[in-house]
Amino acid sequence: MDLGVLHSLSPAAFRELLPGLLAGFIVDPAANRSNLQRIRREVSEWNDDVTREVVALLITIGEDYQLYFAHPACRALSREWARDAFPTSELSGVEHFRSALAAGPTVLVGNHLSFVDTSAVDAVLAWNGHADLADRIVAIAGPRVYTELFRRFAATCLNTLPVVQSSAIAHAEALSPREIARRALVSLEAAASACRDGFAPLIYPEGSRSRTGRLGTFLKATHRYLDLAEPQQVVPVAVIGTDACMPIGEERIHPGWIGVRFGPALPTGIPARERLRAAHEAVAALLPEALRPAAETPAAG
C-alpha cells in the first residue's frame, strides 16, 4: 500500500488492510500471527469517523514544520502492536523523568539505534503504568521518519515535530545554509512552545542512527534544544536492544528484548554547550559497556 492508494480507500477497506500491513513488519511467524489478531481487535473498534481522521493525518503528517499530535486510536494501537515486536522489556529510572517534568520544562536527550527507538520508549512507559509521561513526549524527528507508509503510520502514533537534518549527515537533503537555518528556527520555536506547555521534547543529538551501536558524537547545533525554556530540566535516556530488533538496512522487526533507562536531570544554570557535553556523558553512563562511545569519540562536534 502506498500513500496514493489511501485517497481512494473507503474506511472499511482501510480497516481491512491495516492489520496485515502492520503485522507484516514482524518477521517471526508466531509473533506475526499473534500481531495480526491483536491489531484486528483494535481496528475493529474504529468507526468510520475515526478511520477518516487517521487516514487524513497519515496523508498530511510531516508536510509542515509543526507539532503533530498522536491520534489517540493510533497511539493505543501502537502500544498493542509493540507487544509482539518487543515481547520482553526493562524500564528503570522513570522517577527522574517524572520529577523533572513536575519541576518544570523538560527535554529528554537520548542515544539513537533504530527507527523504532521512540516507539519503544512510548510502549515501555505505557506498559509500566506511565502512559501519562509517554503522552507528554514529543519526538524531534528527521525527514526520513515521514518518507514511507510504515514510518508515517508510526509517526501518527506519537507526538512528533519535524526538523531539518544537519548538512553534516550524509543522506541529508541538499538545502542552502539559509534554508536550513530558516527551517531549524521554525522547529526550535515549536519545540520551545511545546516545552513551555508541559511537553518533553526528545532529541537524538547524534543526528542519525549509530552505525556501530556505540554512542557517537553529539552535533553541536543540537545544544539549542537544551535552552528552550527557563529553568529547563535535561534528562538523559538510554535505549538498548532496538538495533537488534530493527537493524540498520532492514525494514522489518525481529522480536526481542528492549531496555529504557532514564538518568537524573542534569544541573541547571550552566551554558547549553556545556550541558550538551554533560548530556553525552550522562547518556553514556546509562548504556552497557558495548554501547558506550569509543575512547577517541568527542562528546560534541
Q: For 77-90, what is each residue's pLDDT tens digit?
A: 999 999 999 999 99
Does the pLDDT of residue 170 top 50, yes or no?
no
132 in any annotated domain? yes
Please indicate, yes or no, if residue 38 is contained in any of the structural domains.
no
How far apart (Å, rounded) are the C-alpha atoms in residues 155 and 200? 16
Helix (H, G, I), strand (E, B) or coil at 157: coil
In tens, the pLDDT along 96-111 reads 999 999 999 999 999 9
The side-by-side arrangement of strands in the sheet containing 89-92 is: 89-92, 258-262, 233-240, 106-110, 200-203, 137-141, 159-162
The tens digit of pLDDT for each residue in 219-238 reads 999 999 998 988 899 999 99
pLDDT at residue 168 above 60?
A: no
Mean pLDDT of 209-227: 94
The answer to whether residue 20 is domain-embedded is no
**Residue 171 pLDDT greater than 50, yes or no:** no
Domain contains 188: yes
Residue 204 belongs to domain with CATH number: 3.40.1130.10
**Residue 11 forms part of a structural domain:** no
177 band by pLDDT with thresholds 50, 70 and 90: confident
pLDDT at 5: 81
Angle at 124 between CA 195 and CA 130, to 5 degrees: 55
Strand locations in the chain (E) = 89-92, 106-110, 137-141, 159-162, 200-203, 233-240, 258-262
- Give the chain's mean pLDDT: 93
Cα–Cα distance for residue pair 75/153, rounded to 1 Å: 10
**For residue 9, is it within any domain?**
no
pLDDT greater at residue 6 or residue 108: 108
Closest C-alpha among 88, 73, 4 to residue 43: 73
Residue 166 above 70 pLDDT?
A: no
Residue 252's domain spans which residues?
A: 64-291
φ, ψ of residue 235 to 5 degrees: the values are -115, 125
pLDDT above 70 coverage of the chain, percent: 96
Measured distance CA(222)–CA(188) in Å, rounded:
10
pLDDT at site 41: 97
Res 53: pLDDT: 97
**Contact predicate 8/133, CB 8 Å:** no
Q: What is the pLDDT of residue 184?
A: 80
Q: What is the pLDDT of residue 121?
A: 98
Is 15 a residue whose pLDDT tops 80?
Answer: yes
Per-residue pLDDT, averaged over 18-26, amounts to 96
pLDDT over 90 (residue 261):
yes
Q: Is this structure's pTM higher than 0.75?
A: yes
d(CA 185, CA 179): 10
Check pLDDT > 90 for residue 181: no
Between 290 and 270, where is the model more confident?
290
- Above 80 in pLDDT, residue 179? no
Reply yes or no on whether the pLDDT at 289 is more than 50: yes
Radius of gyration of the chain (CA): 19
Report the C-alpha gap between 51 and 54 in whole angstroms.
5
Q: Please, what's the b/e burial string for 78-112 (b: 16 or more CB within 10 A of its CB; e: otherwise)?
A: bbbbbbbbbeebebebbebbbebbeeebbbbbbbb
Does a structural domain hold residue 244? yes
Whether residue 16 is contained in a domain is answered as no
Report the domain count for the chain.
1
